[in-house]
Amino acid sequence: MTTEHADPGHGHSPAAWTAVVIMLVAFTIGTVAFFFEVEWLVWASAGLLVAGVLVGWALAKAGYGVGGAKSSVSSH
């Protein structure tokens, strides 16, 4: 049995980490706001979620995505 596998490398970039952190914060805020019935904050967290997706996309286009010019390659 071999432990080697073909890793496509997705998720190992500053763009991916930044997007995921922003979206996790948005989900956390949205969940707490929903629990306390703060409707405007639920919608604001939904906007932050969309912003996280856009930030990840923009960083990937700027070269910080997997295989990007500004992203460093790390070996496992």
The mean-pLDDT minimum among 7-11, 45-49, 57-61 falls in 7-11
Distance in angstroms (rounded) separating the CA atoms of residues 28 and 10: 24
pLDDT in the model for residue 53? 97
Over residues 22-26, mean pLDDT: 98
Query: Encoding tokens for residue 5?
Result: 């596998």
The pLDDT of residue 68 is above 90: no
Average pLDDT value over all residues in the chain? 87
Does the pLDDT of residue 76 top 70, yes or no? no
The whole-angstrom distance between residue 18's C-alpha and the CA centroid of its chain comes to: 5
**65 φ, ψ to 5°?**
-85, 180
| SS3 at position 37 | coil
Which one-letter amino acid corresponds to residue 29? I
